[in-house]
Amino acid sequence: MKARLSLPLAAALLAFGAGCIDNWQSFYVRDNKRLGEPPGCEIPTDPNATGLLGGVLDVSIAHSYAAYLFTENRLIIREDEGLPRAESNGIFVQGAYLDYEPDPTCGAPLGATEVRFSNFIDPQASATIGIWLIPEAMGLNLTAAALAGCPLQEMNIVVTVQLFGVTQAGIELETQPFDYPITICNGCLAYCPIGMTCPPATPHPGTNCDCDNTDVDTGEMPCHPGQDDLVDCRLVPPCI
């Protein structure tokens, strides 16, 4: 069940300039950050790092989608050693609610869920939080058969994520609903390099790749194979 603030608690938070469910200036998701280039795949912590507007998941390679949500805690610092007063506005992030808006042209075999994890954000600070927007246990329902009835055999869904947690003072908080569109496809991210036996126009190149051809550099493996970035078909099943 989603956390909710009672009216007295909400009024108290507003009185101290802090955030609540109806005041998302204080605890919010800015965007989904793009990882650094492979093989390092550094997780960005700079608010100005590149954010993604949407994603692609190729179910011929993977069944899960990872996001790196840049999340801010703008609650004011309450610690005062002179009084003395302990800090109360750090946020223990406890998990996320995930909901899936189906593709109106073919539906979506995914239902709402809740995931649990632990993170901490100091007041007036931020954190980049890694989370599976499509956990593999759910993504296994995304198969070629599930996409067969969709136009172009692609499914377009919108994942809505809300992080939730509690402050050091025990006040429960949620971020705003953060919407993130993902295109689900089968074979769209695996490509065949020029000169290989599998032509680039083949619908599902990973199944026809010349696995023994070593004349062309395969390049680096993407940070998350099957997610967002093209990958040489020799680096994915059935070649590995």
Q: What percent of the chain has pLDDT over 90?
A: 52
Q: Kindly report which listed range (10-14, 134-138, 139-143) carries the lowest average pLDDT score.
A: 10-14
Domain parsing of the chain, residue ranges: 7-185, 189-240
* Residue 143 pLDDT level (bands cut at 50, 70, 90): confident
Query: How many C-beta atoms surround the C-beta of residue 67 within 10 A?
Result: 24
Q: Where residue 7 falls among pLDDT bands split at 50, 70, 90?
A: very low
- Nearest to residue 128, comparing CAs of 206, 239, 202, 35? 35
The pLDDT tens digits of the residues spanning 96-122 come to: 999 999 899 887 678 899 999 999 999
Instruction: Select the highest-mean-pLDDT range: 33-37, 107-111, 153-157.
Output: 33-37
pLDDT > 50? residue 23:
yes
7-185 CATH fold: Immunoglobulin-like (2.60.40)
Question: What is the tens place of the pLDDT at every residue in 185-218?
Answer: 988 898 877 666 554 444 455 556 666 655 556 6
pLDDT of residue 79: 75
CA dist 228 and 181 (Å) reads 12
14: pLDDT strictly greater than 60 = no
Contact present, 95 and 114 (Cβ < 8 Å) = yes
User: SS3 letters for the chain?
Assistant: CCCCCCHHHHHHHHHCCCCECCECCCEEEEEEECCCCCCCCCCCCCCCCCEECCEEEECCCCCCEEEEEEEEECCCCCCECCCCECCCCCEEEEEEEEEEECECCCECCCCCEEEEEEEEECCCEEEEEEEEEECHHHHCCCCHHHHCCCHHHCEEEEEEEEEEEEECCCCEEECCCEEEEEEEECCCCEECCCCCCCCCCCCCHHHCCCCCCCCCCCCCCCCCCCECCCEEHHHCCCCC
pLDDT of residue 237: 72
Report the chain's mean pLDDT, rounded to a whole number.
82
Write down the pLDDT at residue 204: 52
